[in-house]
Every structure is written in structure tokens, then in C-alpha cells.
């Protein structure tokens, strides 16, 4: 609960865009996953960097934490208050500020979603390709270092944020990066803030790299006899240096769920959903090489969807896979895991995970951006049976430990929040303490999204 002078001062900055109404607080205490937090004390809807800077000054003066809020699609509780504080909802800072087609850059406010951005870019011949599935906000995507289906070709947010404007604890405003394609001028502050999950400051502006809309696109679904064959095919594709724009794995359970939910008729076996972007001749070459490789691994039914409507249908089904899987067990809640391993360990990681899930008695379809070694098991638990959540969390923990054992990471793209906090020491060792030291240097009062990402303050 905010004390009266603090609330009055907050209203002084935001007027009726500072809310303590119960439904507004409740809306900002929800998550798409099983991770839950507490109610924030207030929610504000800033319209400018100056307002966010004033808010950060206010936060320091009144010792009230700030927690950034984008589209509310994160899965590890990043945007949830743990012990009060103000949720900073960026929905009213959602403009495209500048498009620079010659430099393939766009400057945006943090609240814009990736779908809205790409609508605004449609006529420019350019696109912002990073696609985490959810229609997330760009500020949130930068804060969590999001990626998704297209990272295998276009990279993650790490690779596609050229610069940021950030409001630091206390209200200082900095700009990182320049419009030049590269720089060696000092520490890479852009990279430091991308993935910092609001713990070092609040992102108020982003300069993003754009890519040309592909001249030609080919999409295919390929059915494989076994999980191992599909995964080995991906490994071969990546090792051959083919660069698909997307290469997604769906296990048989995922395919069955997608068939039911999106009215497809794919054979219920492990599938790869693959897309190539390029100029016509190069594309035909890539497609031919992929076909030969896939057939070597026993693929059948390799069907190239050249028509936009067929492609859209397939990718819409892929994007709906999470909802499709949830619908396969009515009333269930999901524990979404996020393993990422070296390509060489992908087959082993997937096989061990499948066996572990099969032995658990809980449904857990597997799908993922396998060109990056990244896959997810969607563990479906019945909320009426609390023992299932316990089993699912144990499965998720074993999967993270398996990733580490195989040389990978506890999270490929979902981030840490506080859901993955207990695993950070195992991944980083002493490096986690270094993260804590950086945090303490930039936010000594621990007001920026406290309780997330870094070790607890002593």
C-alpha cells in the first residue's frame, strides 16, 4: 500500500493515469503461466520518457519499486510484483517514432507490439522478424532477450536491437548505441540492458534493425518416422550451412493437438515445419538441398506450400500450438519449459526429456525452434490435482539440469524472472555474483524490478 504523500506525488506526475483500482491492479498481477506474484500497489500509464524519469525519481524518494509491464505475455513472472511496487504499463507509449529505410532501422516506443510494428512496416518492404509467438511488446521482448521461430536465420533480440533509451534508477536517462551498424566505443551497454528484465532500468525507446521482406518464400511440412530422425535431420541441415528462416519441430502429440485445434490433417508423427527466404534461384537451391537431406532421414509427404494462404495456415497452426495443446486437456494449466542445448546434444536432450515425461504420467507434448537447439515441453497439469504441479515442476527442473549437463542453458528465450531464479547459480557459478555486482552498481537501492534475475540482496 502506498502512503498518502507518495500516492499524491504519483498522481502529481500521472493524474488519473495512476491507478489503484482493484481491477487494474488485478490485471497486472496475472501471468500466462503457473508463476504467480502479488498485487502491485499502483499501476501507471506513462506517455513520455520525461514521465518515466520523474517516476524513477519518485521511486527513489519514496523507496517504492518499479516493475515494467509490456503485453503481459511473459512466462517466468518477470512483470509481476513480489512485494508491492508500481507496475509501469507502457501501453500508451506504443508509437513508431521514425522509420529509416535507407539504414534499415526503426525507432519505436516500448509498448508497441511486434504485430502492430510489422503492420506499420508493411508498405516499406521491410520487416522486424523476431517472433516469439505471443504478440509481445518490443520493450518486453528486449527486456527478456526474446527470440522464437525466426532466430535461426535473423537472430534474437540480442542481434536486432541497435540502441536503447533507458531510464535508470533515480531518474537519469541514457541512450545506448548509435545508428551506425557497429561500434567499438566502450562497453556494450545495449547488450547489457537487452535481457536485463527491467532490473537495471526501464526501456523507454528502442532502435531496431529491420530486414528486407523476402522476395521469395517456401514453406514445407515433412513427416518423419521417429523423433530421432527429425532431430538428426535438423542437425544435418544446420551443419551443412543451410539457413532456413524457421525450422520447427513438433512431436506426434503436438501434431495431434494442432490437427484437432486448427483443422489440419497432418499425419500424426514427428514433423518438421520449415521455411526458406531468399532470392528465387538461391531459394530453389536451398529447397532442393533440404529435400534431399530430409529424404535421407526418411521424411515423407514433403509438401511445399508456395501460396501465401497455405503458408499462413501452417504458421497460424504453429502459433496456435500452445493453445492447441492446452485444449487437448480441457481445464489444464501449463508449465512451459524452455531448454536450449548445443545442436550436437539436441537428439539426446529431446529423447531423454520424452522418456522422463512418459514416466511421469503427465502429458507433455514437445515442440521447438530446433535449429537453435531450443525446445519446449508443455506440461499439462490439472489444477484440481496439486500433486501434478509438483510433478511438472520436478520435470522442469530436471530438464534445466539436463540442459546444463549437455552444455546448454536453463532458458533459451523465456528468461529468468523469478521462476528460473533457483537455477541461475548452477548455470553461472561466480558469474551470477558478477551480475549482482553490476545490478548493485546501477541500482543500489534495489528499486528496479527487485527479486528478479540477480542473487537476493543480503
Identify which of residues 201 and 363 has a Cβ nearer to a second copy in the complex. 201
**Residue closer to a second copy (CB basis): 243 or 360:** 243
186 makes contact with a second copy (CB under 8 A): yes
Q: Which of 71, 227, 245, 341 binds a second copy (CB under 8 A)?
A: 341
Among 410, 418, 449, 451, binds a second copy (CB under 8 A): 410
422 near a second copy (CB under 8 A): no
Nearest to 394 by CA among 353, 427, 432, 340: 353
Cα-Cα-Cα-Cα dihedral sign, residues 206, 279, 316, 379:
negative
Using CB under 8 A as the binding rule, the residues of this chain from 132 to 171 that contact a second copy are 144-147, 151, 156, 158-159, 168
Asked if residue 367 binds a second copy (CB under 8 A), the reply is no
Comparing CB distances to a second copy, the nearer of 357 and 416 is 416
Instruction: Considering only residues 99 through 138, tell me which ones interact with a second copy, judged by CB under 8 A.
Output: 100-105
Applying CB under 8 A, the span of 17-25, 188-196, 218-226, 390-398 interacting with a second copy comes to: 188-196
**Shortest distance (Å) from residue 322 CB to a second copy:** 18
With b meaning 16 or more CB within 10 Å and e meaning fewer, what string describes 72-104?
A: bbbbbbbbbbbebbbbbbbbebbeeeebeeeeb
437 lies in the site for a second copy, by CB under 8 A: yes
Contacts by 286-292, CB closer than 8 A, 24 or more apart: 286/242, 286/243, 286/244, 287/218, 287/220, 289/240, 289/242, 290/220, 290/237, 290/242, 290/244
Helix-strand-coil percent breakdown of the chain, rounded to 5? 40, 20, 35
Q: Kindly state the smallest distance separating residue 361's Cβ from a second copy, in Å.
A: 29
Say whether 6 sits in a helix, a strand or coil.
helix
Q: Is 53 in the site for a second copy (CB under 8 A)?
A: no
Residue 333 found at the interface with a second copy (CB under 8 A) = no
CA distance 336 to 33: 7
User: Minimum CB separation from a second copy for residue 277, in Å?
Assistant: 10
Asked if 248 interacts with a second copy (CB under 8 A), we say no
**Least distance to a second copy, CB of residue 386, Å:** 28
Stretch that binds a second copy, among 34-42, 376-384, 389-397, 413-421 (CB under 8 A): 413-421
Give the binding-site size for a second copy (rule: CB under 8 A): 93
Q: Is 435 in the site for a second copy (CB under 8 A)?
A: yes
The least CB distance from residue 12 to a second copy, in Å, is: 25
Q: Is 441 in the site for a second copy (CB under 8 A)?
A: yes
Is 239 a binding residue for a second copy by CB under 8 A? The answer is yes
Instruction: Rule CB under 8 A: say whether 411 interacts with a second copy.
Output: yes
Give residue 241's Cα distance to chain centre. 25
Element (H, E) at 12: helix 4-14
Q: How far is CA 310 from CA 219, 281, 306, 430, 443, in A?
A: 9, 22, 7, 50, 50
Residue ranges in 194-213 that form contacts with a second copy under rule CB under 8 A: 194-196, 200, 211-212
Q: Are 74 and 414 in contact (CB under 8 A)?
A: yes
- Report the DSSP beta bridge partners of residue 98: 107
Q: Return the number of the residue (184 or 265) whose C-beta is nearest a second copy.
A: 184
Sign of CA pseudo-dihedral 457, 63, 93, 162: negative
Tell me if 371 sits within 8 A of 247, measured CB to CB. yes
Amino acid at each position: 500500500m502506498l502512503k498518502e504523500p507518495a500516492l499524491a506525488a504519483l498522481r502529481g506526475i500521472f493524474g488519473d493515469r495512476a491507478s489503484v483500482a482493484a481491477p487494474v491492479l488485478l490485471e497486472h498481477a496475472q501471468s500466462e503461466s503457473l508463476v504467480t506474484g502479488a498485487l502491485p500497489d499502483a499501476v501507471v500509464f506513462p506517455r513520455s520518457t520525461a514521465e518515466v524519469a520523474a517516476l524513477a525519481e519518485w521511486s527513489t524518494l519514496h523507496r517504492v519499486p518499479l516493475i515494467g509491464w509490456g503485453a503481459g505475455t511473459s512466462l517466468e513472472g518477470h512483470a509481476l510484483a513480489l512485494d508491492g511496487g508500481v507496475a509501469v504499463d507502457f501501453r500508451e507509449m506504443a508509437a513508431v517514432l521514425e522509420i529509416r529505410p535507407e539504414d534499415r532501422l526503426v525507432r519505436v516506443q516500448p509498448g508497441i507490439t511486434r504485430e502492430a510494428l510489422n503492420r506499420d512496416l508493411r508498405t516499406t518492404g521491410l520487416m522486424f522478424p523476431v517472433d516469439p509467438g505471443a504478440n509481445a511488446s518490443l520493450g518486453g521482448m528486449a527486456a527478456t532477450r526474446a527470440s522464437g521461430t525466426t532466430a535461426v536465420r535473423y537472430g534474437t533480440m540480442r542481434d536486432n536491437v541497435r540502441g536503447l533509451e533507458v531510464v535508470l534508477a533515480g531518474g537519469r536517462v541514457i541512450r545506448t548505441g548509435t545508428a551506425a551498424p557497429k561500434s567499438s566505443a566502450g562497453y556494450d551497454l545495449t547488450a547489457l540492458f537487452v535481457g536485463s528484465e527491467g532490473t537495471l532500468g526501464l526501456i523507454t525507446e528502442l532502435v531496431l534493425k529491420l530486414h528486407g521482406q523476402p522476395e521469395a518464400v517456401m514453406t514445407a511440412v515433412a513427416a518423419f518416422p521417429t523423433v530421432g530422425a527429425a532431430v538428426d535431420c535438423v542437425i544435418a541441415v544446420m551443419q551443412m550451412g543451410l539457413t532456413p528462416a524457421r525450422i520447427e519441430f513438433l512431436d506426434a502429440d503436438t501434431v495431434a493437438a494442432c490437427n484437432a485445434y486448427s483443422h489440419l490433417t497432418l499425419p500424426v508423427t514427428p514433423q518438421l515445419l520449415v521455411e526458406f527466404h531468399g532470392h528465387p534461384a538461391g531459394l530453389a537451391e536451398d529447397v532442393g538441398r533440404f529435400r534431399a537431406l530430409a529424404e535421407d532421414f526418411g521424411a515423407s509427404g514433403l509438401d511445399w506450400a508456395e501460396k501465401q494462404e497455405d503458408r499462413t495456415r501452417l504458421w497460424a497452426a504453429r502459433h496456435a500450438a500452445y493453445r492447441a495443446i492446452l485444449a487437448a486437456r480441457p481445464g489444464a494449466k501449463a508449465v512451459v519449459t524452455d531448454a536450449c542445448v548445443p545442436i550436437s546434444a539436441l537428439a539426446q536432450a529431446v529423447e531423454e526429456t520424452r522418456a522422463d515425461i512418459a514416466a511421469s504420467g503427465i502429458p507433455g507434448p514437445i515442440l521447438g525452434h530446433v535449429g537453435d537447439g531450443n525446445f519446449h515441453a508443455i506440461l499439462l497439469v490439472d489444477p484440481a490435482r496439486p500433486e501434478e504441479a509438483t510433478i511438472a515442476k520436478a520435470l522442469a527442473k530436471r530438464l534445466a539440469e539436463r540442459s546444463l549437463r549437455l552444455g546448454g542453458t536453463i532458458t533459451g528465450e523465456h528468461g529468468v524472472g523469478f521462476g528460473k531464479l533457483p537455477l541461475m547459480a548452477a548455470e553461472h557459478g561466480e558469474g551470477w555474483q558478477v551480475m549482482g555486482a553490476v545490478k548493485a552498481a546501477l541500482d543500489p537501492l534495489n528499486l528496479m524490478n527487485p527479486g528478479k534475475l540477480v542473487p537476493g540482496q543480503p
